[in-house]
Structure 1
Amino acid sequence: MPAKHVVFVLPLSLILACATCVAAPARKNAGSAHASVLRPQYQRCLDASGGVAPAMQDCIDEEHAWQDRRLNETYRRLVAHLPASEAATLRERQRAWIRQRDRDCDPGAAPGQGQLFDADSCRTRRTAERAAQLQAQLDRLR
Structure 2
Amino acid sequence: MNLNKSLMILAFVSTFVWASDSVEDPCNVQGGGVTAGYLCVEEKMKTADMELNKTYQEAIDRISEEEAFLRNTWSKTELVAPFRKAQRAWLKYRDAECEFAGISSTPSPWQGVQVGECKLRMTLDRVEYFKRVYVG
Q: For this structure pair, what is the TM-score category when the shorter chain's length is used for normalisation?
A: 0.5 to 0.7
How many residues are aligned here? 100
Gaps of 5+ in 2: 1-13, 18-24, 68-77
Q: Which residue of 1 aligns with 2:35?
A: 54
The answer to whether the 8 Å contact 1:74/1:135 transfers is yes
Whose radius of gyration is greater, 1 or 2?
A: 2
Higher helix share: 2
Fraction of identical pairs, as percent: 25
State TM-score, norm by structure 2. 0.63
Structure 1's consecutive aligned runs of 4 or more residues displaced over 4 angstroms after TM superposition are none
Structure 2 residue 103 is the aligned partner of structure 1 residue 122: no
Query: Following TM superposition, by how much is the alpha carbon of 1:128 offset from its aligned partner in structure 2, in angstroms?
Result: 0.7
Gaps of 5+ in 1: 7-43
1:104 and 1:51, CA in 2 relative to 1: closer, same or farther beyond 3 A?
farther
Instruction: Output the CA distance in 2 between the equivalents of 1:93 and 1:75.
Output: 12
Q: Could you tell me which amino acid in structure 1 is paired with residue 91 of structure 2?
A: I
1:45 and 1:5, CA in 2 relative to 1: closer, same or farther beyond 3 A?
closer
2:54 to 60, 73, 84: 73
Give 1:1-142 correspondences, 5 Å limit: 4-5=15-16, 46=27, 48-52=28-32, 53-83=34-64, 84=67, 85-106=78-99, 107-108=102-103, 112-140=108-136
State TM-score, norm by structure 1. 0.61
